[in-house]
Structure 1
Amino acid sequence: MENEKICVLIAGTGGGGTGMELIKSFKMAKHEYKIVATDMWENSFGLMETPYRYVIPTASSPEYVDSLIKICKKENVQAIATGSEPELKKVAQNSKIFEENGVKVLLNSWETIQKCTDKFRLTKILKSLNIPCPDFFLYEKEGDLSKIKTFPVVIKPRVGGGSQNVFLAMNEEEAQFFTKYLQKYGFDPLVQEYVGDYNNEYTIGILYADDGKLLTSIAMKRLLESGLSTRQTIIKSNKKYVISSGISQGLIDDFKGIQEMSIKIASGLDINGPVNIQCRKTDDGIIPFEINPRFSGTTSPRSLVGLNEPDIFCRYKLFNEIPAKTDYKYGYVVRGLVEKFIDLNETKNIPRI
Structure 2
Amino acid sequence: MRIPSSPNKSSFLTRKTLLPRVLLTDGHWAKTLAAARSLGKKGIRVTVGESTWIATTFFSRFCGRRWVYPSPYFQPEAFLEEVIRELRRRTYEALIPMEEGTMLLLVQNRKEVEKYTRLPVHQEAFLDRARRKDEVLKLAEKLGIPAPRTFFPRQLEEVRDLLPELPCPAVIKPRLGSGSTGVTYVRERKDLWPAYQRVHRYYPRPLIQEYIPPGGAAVGVSFLFGKDHEPLARFTHQRIREYPISGGPSTLRESIADPLVEKMAEKILRALDWFGVAMVEFRYDPRDGLPKLMEINPRFWG
TM band (smaller chain): 0.7 to 0.9
Q: What do the CA deviations read for 1:254-286 (whole angstroms, capped 9, x no partner)?
A: 211111111111111211111111112231622
The 1:199–1:106 alpha-carbon spacing in structure 2 relative to 1, beyond 3 Å, is same
1:265 aligns with 2:268: yes
- Local SS of the residue matching 1:275: strand
Output the amino acid matched with 1:26: A
Q: CA RMSD in A?
A: 2.5
CA contact (8 A) 1:6 1:78 kept: yes
Matching residue within 80, 83, 103 for 1:88: 103
Q: 1 CA distance for matches of 2:124 and 2:297?
A: 13
The 1:248–1:204 alpha-carbon spacing in structure 2 relative to 1, beyond 3 Å, is farther
Shift of 1:143: 4.8
Matching residue within 285, 292, 299 for 1:294: 299
Q: 2 CA distance for matches of 1:73 and 1:91?
A: 16
Partner of 2:171: 154
Pairing 1:1-353 to 2, within 5 Å after superposition: 1=1, 6-15=20-29, 20-29=30-39, 30-49=41-60, 50=63, 51-59=65-73, 61-101=76-116, 103-139=117-153, 140-145=155-160, 146=163, 148-224=165-241, 229-231=242-244, 233=245, 242-243=246-247, 245-282=248-285, 283=288, 285-297=290-302
Shift of 1:90: 1.0
CA contact (8 A) 2:94 2:119 kept: yes
CA contact (8 A) 2:223 2:231 kept: no
Q: TM-score, normalised by structure 1?
A: 0.71
- Tell me the matched-pair count: 278
Output the amino acid matched with 2:103: L
Q: 2 CA distance for matches of 1:151 and 1:200?
A: 21
The 1:4–1:279 alpha-carbon spacing in structure 2 relative to 1, beyond 3 Å, is closer
Q: 2 CA distance for matches of 1:141 and 1:281?
A: 31
Output the amino acid matched with 1:197: P
CA contact (8 A) 2:278 2:298 kept: yes
The 1:290–1:48 alpha-carbon spacing in structure 2 relative to 1, beyond 3 Å, is same
Q: 1 CA distance for matches of 2:17 and 2:173?
A: 45
Q: 2 CA distance for matches of 1:260 and 1:195?
A: 21
Q: TM-score, normalised by structure 2?
A: 0.81
CA contact (8 A) 2:173 2:184 kept: yes
Q: Which runs of 5+ in 2 are unaligned?
A: 2-15
Output the amino acid matched with 1:40: S
The 1:148–1:278 alpha-carbon spacing in structure 2 relative to 1, beyond 3 Å, is farther
Q: Which runs of 5+ in 1 are unaligned?
A: 234-241, 298-353
CA contact (8 A) 1:258 1:286 kept: yes
- Local SS of the residue matching 2:235: strand
Q: 1 CA distance for matches of 2:89 and 2:113?
A: 14
- Local SS of the residue matching 1:100: coil
- Local SS of the residue matching 2:77: coil
The 1:112–1:143 alpha-carbon spacing in structure 2 relative to 1, beyond 3 Å, is closer
Q: 2 CA distance for matches of 1:55 and 1:173?
A: 49
Shift of 1:144: 0.5
The 1:199–1:126 alpha-carbon spacing in structure 2 relative to 1, beyond 3 Å, is closer
Q: What do the CA deviations read for 1:180-205 (whole angstroms, capped 9, x no partner)?
A: 33333354422122225343211111
* Structure with larger RCO (C-alpha < 8 A, sep 6+): 1
